[in-house]
Amino acid sequence: MAWKIGSGKGEWFHALQLPGMHKKGITCLAGRMVSDTIAIFASTSSDGIVVIWEMAIEPTTGGDCKVTCLHSLSVGLKPMVSLSLAVLPGQGGYLILAMGGLDHKIHIYCGDKAGKFIKACELKGHSDWIRSLDFSLPVMMDGERHNLFLVSSSQDRTIRIWKMTSEAAASGSSLQLRKETIEMTSYIEGPLFVAGSTSYQVSLESLLVGHEDWVYSVEWQPPTLLTGDEAHQPMSILSASMDKMMMIWRPEKTTGLWIDSVTVGELSHSALGFYGGLWQPDGRSILAHGYGGSFHMWRDVGLDSENWQPQIVPSGHFAPVSDLTWARSGQYLLSVSHDQTTRIFAPWRNQVNPGDMIYWREIARPQIHGHDLNCVTFIQGSGNHRFVSGADEKVSRVFEAPLSFLKTLQQATLLKPDISEDFDNVQVLGANMSALGLSQKPIYTHGVKESSISNSNDGPDSMETIPDAVPTVFTEPPVEDQLAWNTLWPESHKLYGHGNELFSICCDYEGKLVASSCKAQSAAVAEIWLWEVGTWKAVARLQSHSLTVTQMEFSRNNAFLLSVSRDRHLSIFSIRKTEGGAEHRLVAKLEAHKRIIWACSWNPFGYEFATGSRDKSVKIWCVEDASSVKLLATLPQFRDSVTALAWMGRDRASNAGIVAAGMDNGLIELWSVSGGRASSGTQLSVACVLRFDPLLCHVSTVHRLRWRCSTDEKSTLELASCGADHTVRVFEVCGSI
């Protein structure tokens, strides 16, 4: 696809769809502007085909662009994975295309602007797959003609710089003589090729060895513009490797030897290497992207000398986000994902100017697990911040906030801690990840100095062990390396009992009971377990469903527990907390929908609740006389399966509220609901009040919706959503709705 950026607000929009010339996935694109309105670019695919394209761009504002296929090259059974395209110096009408791939060679093709490329030569030297190629701008060196440099990186852990020097080709005989004279030293100077009336001598300028793993990316520093149309090419190369390092290579001023003048990277065990690196256009910042889709940025903040420091970058999940929940005070958002992490996002306020724009940042990563995480609930009530998560394992895990997080949260929100948050009673500073297990062990405030002393006495094999975390109180948003290692929460309890992987979990509003369910294909396994908060003992096992319970929720007064299931039934249990545990009774069970029921939500002001199903319907129900369930209304059919629901109360007197519905196609709608109480004799009134702009919504299944419960008197509401498109979104909803 071709995308275009608008001249006004800088928004990108879809320009056109390119014809499908490739039969398999595209692995690389490379292009070059050859005039003000014409661009030539090449694409390569795992189908072994390289296609040359021409894009004509109309110079007028908002003008269309046209793309045509100029040429197609077949490279055989070993496809190319990297490309680079440049204009040959001294030959304004000729282009040079370098391609590298699985055969360990760099293939050089020359062609004109008409797109007819022919093979010129091969460059040998690498001993493994070639991962990246990049041409420089023509460079004038020591009074020579313009030279063109090509840098290549490979899985053999090396980087090679190739120099292409232009020489006039007077005749074929002189060219042949030149070939004969350099035959004995061809391993140094390399091959010779001709484009138009100019011949080009290729030589190996330098071999760079410094990385300890595959080098995935190399890139020349972007040129700096001089007067007129001239540009200066800095002799500086950025490389990124799977050894978790990025290096900047430059020739030494005295000897001219290329050396790594700058090295930055992630030293923790959590980073699995860099897949690529980029320069900022001014050359003052560099950006790497890692295995988990994470960004890592450094900026040169030095005045007289270089001083590269890590910078704050956006972060988020890199797999479907399965569940989310607000903290009890609405201060932050907790989400879990199939990327096996739990993350906390909060609005970070500027301490210098609190009135400035507020940015949402990831402020902690409490859990890094070995299984995909499916569900999470926050423990309500007083006391320290706690949550329970469930994953693709038979165990629920309870986590408690360490002292370092509580103080960081205070820095982020600029709010005084709750009365219930007594920092003196929190003795845990942070957590360490066990080297061989899935548990996160606490680091106590009185044991920090002792652990540092013991670490200094480790034997020579200590490099093979995972280093201790360093819990930190952050005064600015943490960067990726800090998030992945220094913001863990200690695990306080494990809840054993379920026979299969955890699927759904919820907590009552007093913070006394937690309900959990697992994947099930029989009634015996589909039980809902109730756990007592504090003792963490199983106090009840609720039987009703025959297949997986997909979602559960307590009523606002904790009198009822609502559950919905893949068996198309909903169940209402009456729950009463006792000194010895909990008493429960099945109030009602009925087949509520024709397909799987994915979602449910209670009205905060009463005993009405909503259910959403794969049958594309949402139904409003009511518990009557604590003994039966009555259907109040069925909303008009939705455009897709309803996968998430959240009911927010607006006015208790009129029993008015807003139901947010998320669908399988990623869209979100808001419905106003009011009336429906038997005591008042009013009919239930429902109406669709807002359909979110598709550009704001998810592009895949909405997994969960949660309204923010805030004590602040604000005219706007905040709705959080998560989905299969790996994103967490927070929407501001105008209070006039």
How far is CA 457 from each of CA 173, 268, 450, 451, 452, rounded to the nearest angstrom? 73, 20, 11, 10, 9
What's the pLDDT at 268?
A: 57
Q: Is pLDDT at 292 greater than 70 in this prediction?
A: yes
Q: What are the tens digits of pLDDT across the range 222-272?
A: 988 766 667 788 899 999 999 999 999 999 988 889 999 999 987 655 557
d(CA 661, CA 644) in angstroms, rounded, equals: 6
Task: Return the SS3 of 495.
Answer: strand
| CB contact at 8 A, 320 and 723 | yes
Question: Do the beta carbons of residue 663 and residue 640 sit within 8 Å?
Answer: yes
**Model pLDDT, residue 417:** 57
Q: Name the pTM for this structure.
A: 0.85
CA–CA dist 29, 80 (Å, integer): 11
Residue of 647 and 8 predicted with greater confidence? 647
According to DSSP, residue 715 is labeled S
Confidence at 9, pLDDT banded by 50, 70, 90: low
Give the pLDDT score at 737.
Answer: 65
Residues 116-131: tens digit of each pLDDT: 889 999 999 999 999 9
Q: Which helix (H) or strand (E) holds 453?
A: helix 448-456
Encoding tokens for residue 467? 């280093």
More confident residue, 4 or 223: 223
Query: Residue 170 and residue 167: Cα distance in Å, rounded?
Result: 9
Compute CA 589 distance to the chain's CA centroid, rounded to the nearest angstrom: 40
**What local confidence, expressed as pLDDT, does residue 186 receive?**
37
Q: Residue written as tokens 């994953």?
A: 391
* pLDDT reported for residue 624: 87
Instruction: Give the whole-angstrom CA distance, residue 182 versus residue 168.
Output: 16
**Tens of pLDDT, residues 631-668:** 999 999 999 999 999 999 988 888 899 999 999 999 99
The CA distance from 501 to 503, in Å, is 6
d(CA 375, CA 498): 14
* pLDDT tens for each residue of 404-435: 999 999 888 876 655 445 566 777 888 877 76
In one letter, which amino acid is 515? Answer: A
The pLDDT mean for the chain works out to 85
The answer to whether 182 touches 171, Cβ cutoff 8 Å, is no
Beta-bridge partner residues of 360:
347
Q: Please state, in angstroms and rounded to a whole number, the distance separating the CA atoms of residues 721 and 604.
A: 19
CA distance 77 to 605: 67
Bridge partners (DSSP) listed for residue 163 = 149, 203
Q: For 213-243, b where at least 16 C-beta lie within 10 A, e where not — what string?
A: ebbbbbbbbbeeeeeeeeeebbbbbbbbbbb
Describe the strand order of the beta sheet including 26-33 as a list of residue ranges. Answer: 26-33, 38-45, 49-57, 65-74
C-alpha distances out from residue 456 to 18, 62, 386, 444, 604, Å: 60, 64, 33, 18, 55
Q: What dihedral angle (degrees, nearest 10) is formed by the CA atoms of 86, 87, 93, 96?
A: -40
> In angstroms, rounded to a whole number, what is the distance separating the alpha carbons of residues 288 and 241?
10
**DSSP state at residue 509:** T
Q: Which two tokens stand for residue 256?
A: 């001219």
Which residues are bridge partners to 220 per DSSP?
Answer: 237
Mean pLDDT on 544-567: 95
Q: Are strands 245-251 and 258-265 parallel, antiparallel or unpaired?
A: antiparallel
The single residue listed with the structure tokens 């929009």 is 13
Helix (H, G, I), strand (E, B) or coil at 181: helix
All structural domains of the chain with their residue ranges: 312-445+467-496
For residue 279 the two structure tokens come to 């320069």
Q: How far apart are CA 538 and CA 530, in angstroms?
A: 6
Which pair of tokens denotes residue 406? 């509580």
Q: Is the pLDDT of residue 677 over 90?
A: no
Condensed to tens digits (0 to 9), the pLDDT of residues 79-92 reads: 899 999 998 877 66
Which residues, including other chains, have CB under 8 Å from residue 311's CB and lie 6 or more apart?
285, 297, 298, 299, 479
pLDDT digits (tens, 9 = 90+) for 428-480: 888 877 765 567 887 877 655 444 434 444 443 333 445 567 788 888 899 88
- At 531, the pLDDT band (50, 70, 90 cuts) reads very high
Token duo for residue 719 = 């709705």
Q: Are strands 668-674 and 685-691 parallel, antiparallel or unpaired?
A: antiparallel
* Mean pLDDT on 495-517: 95
User: Are the CB atoms for 737 and 692 separated by under 8 Å?
Assistant: no
- SS3 string, 85-114, reads EEECCCCCCEEEEEEEECCCCEEEEEEECC
Q: What is the share, in percent, of the chain residues with pLDDT greater than 90?
A: 54
Q: Percent helix, strand, coil in the chain (nearest 5)?
A: 5, 50, 45
Residues 6+ apart with CB under 8 A from 180: none
Round to whole Å and give the CA distance between 292 and 290.
6
Three-state DSSP at 48 gives coil
DSSP assignment string, 670-705: EEEEE---TTTTPPPEEEEEEE--TTTS-SS-EEEE
Q: Which residue has the tokens 């201060």?
A: 331
**What is the C-alpha separation between 355 and 414, in angstroms, rounded?**
11
The residue assigned the tokens 């860099």 is 274
At residue 437, what are phi and psi to the nearest 5 degrees? Answer: -115, -175
Q: Is 563 helix (H, G, I), strand (E, B) or coil?
A: strand
Q: What's the mean pLDDT in 543-556?
A: 95
Cα torsion angle, 17, 21, 26, 30, sign: negative
Element (H, E) at 207: strand 198-209
For residue 50 the two structure tokens come to 């390289």
* DSSP conformational letter for 574: E
Q: Running DSSP on this structure, what letter comes out for residue 726?
A: S
